[in-house]
């Protein structure tokens, strides 16, 4: 690692950034330097704009990757190098607003029934039953399951925040059956070897295969189960603020999007056309 990247790493650690964010930021800065074959201290706003176009036009990466790369470069120049003026010179792409994919309850049931192993079923039930992120499921330990208070403790989640979510009785029953069968020691869902955590890639692949067996045509991922959890809670009458806390969203703005995909809220909202026709009935 170059001296500059070492300085950046130390600054990220001092600010308590997550391990995942640190890895991503360092990688983006390394790619930026490699693209121009020069140290970032010799580069400026024009090169950053060129690199952004390279990511969009040549590599055709998604907006999230571009935004993350720009955030990494902003951290490098503003926080590590102390060049505050660069904050306004690093462009961010406009974030597209797409509605999340949501499974019906029948599709969730089919997905669960399509799992081949009890461990896989327990993982899917944790993703959907508690609305967890895939990284949160992979990081769960035995101690995080509080059956006395019927809570699941989520530690060091996004933003380095802890939170508690509900422990479904159905999930607890499955977890107990799973524990009796496999006896995990530390990680609730260990990966390759009892001392290693499960990887997010393994969960993605498992869900993809289960969705194919269940003949679900939608693109299914761990986050789709999280979206489905939130949407189904909303349709059952849970208020937005509670859903926000359960999901661990920093603000309610991220949670409000589920109003746009809630079947109950859409169907129960009357069109103004109906009021117009009722007040002024037309002749046949």
- The whole-angstrom separation of Cα 145 and Cα 130 is 12
Question: Does the annotation mark 25 as catalytic?
Answer: no
Question: Does the annotation mark 264 as catalytic?
Answer: no
- The whole-angstrom separation of Cα 139 and Cα 129 is 16
Beta strands in the chain (DSSP E): 145-146, 151-157, 161-166
Dihedral sign (CA 169, 257, 94, 89): negative
- The whole-angstrom separation of Cα 122 and Cα 124 is 5
Question: Does the annotation mark 226 as catalytic?
Answer: yes
Residue 234 exposed, middle or buried by CB count within 10 Å (0-12, 13-18, 19+): buried
DSSP character for 96?
P
Q: Which of 74, 119, 121, 226 is catalytic?
A: 226
- The whole-angstrom separation of Cα 243 and Cα 260 is 15
Q: Which of 54, 110, 223, 265 is catalytic?
A: 223
Question: Does the annotation mark 223 as catalytic?
Answer: yes
What residues contact residue 37 under an 8 Å CB cut-off, 6+ apart?
none
Q: Which of 89, 158, 163, 265 is catalytic?
A: 158
- What is the separation, in whole angstroms, between the first and last Cα of the chain? 79
Residue 67: CB atoms within 10 Å? 15
Q: Which of 25, 77, 128, 258 is catalytic?
A: 258
In the structure encoding, which two tokens stand for residue 106, read together?
A: 């029948």
Question: Could you write out the DSSP letters of every residue in 205-246?
Answer: HHHHHHHHHTT--S---HHHHHHHHHHHHHHTT--HHHHHHH
Question: Does the annotation mark 38 as catalytic?
Answer: no
Question: Does the annotation mark 258 as catalytic?
Answer: yes
- Strands in 161-166's sheet, in edge-to-edge order, are 145-146, 151-157, 161-166
Q: Which of 133, 178, 227, 232 is catalytic?
A: 133
Q: Which residues are known to be catalytic?
A: 133, 158, 223, 226, 249, 258
């Amino acid at each position: 690692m170059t001296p500059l990247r070492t300085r950046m790493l130390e600054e990220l650690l001092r600010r308590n950034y997550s391990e995942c964010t640190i890895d991503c930021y360092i990688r983006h800065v390394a790619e930026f330097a490699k693209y121009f074959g020069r140290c970032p201290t010799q580069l400026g706003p024009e090169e950053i704009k060129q690199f952004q176009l390279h990511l969009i036009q040549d590599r055709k990466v998604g907006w999230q990757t571009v935004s993350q790369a720009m955030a990494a470069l902003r951290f490098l120049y503003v926080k590590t190098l102390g060049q505050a003026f660069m904050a306004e010179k690093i462009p961010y792409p406009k974030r597209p607003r797409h509605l999340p994919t949501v499974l019906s309850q029948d599709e969730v049931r089919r997905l669960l029934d399509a799992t081949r192993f009890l461990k896989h079923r327990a993982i899917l039930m944790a993703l959907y039953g508690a609305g967890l992120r895939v990284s949160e499921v992979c990081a769960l330990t035995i101690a995080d399951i509080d059956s006395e208070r019927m809570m699941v403790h989520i530690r060091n989640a996004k933003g380095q925040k802890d939170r508690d979510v509900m422990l479904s009785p159905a999930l607890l029953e499955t977890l107990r059956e799973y524990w009796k069968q496999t006896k995990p020691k530390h990680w609730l869902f260990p990966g390759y070897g009892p001392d290693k955590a499960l990887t997010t890639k393994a969960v993605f692949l498992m869900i993809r295969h289960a969705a194919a067996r269940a003949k679900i045509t939608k693109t299914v991922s761990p986050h789709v189960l999280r979206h489905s959890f939130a949407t189904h809670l909303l349709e059952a009458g849970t208020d937005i603020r509670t859903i926000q806390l359960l999901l661990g969203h920093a603000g309610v703005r991220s949670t409000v999007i589920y109003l746009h995909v809630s079947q109950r809220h859409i169907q129960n909202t009357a069109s103004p056309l109906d009021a117009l026709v009722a007040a002024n009935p037309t002749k046949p």
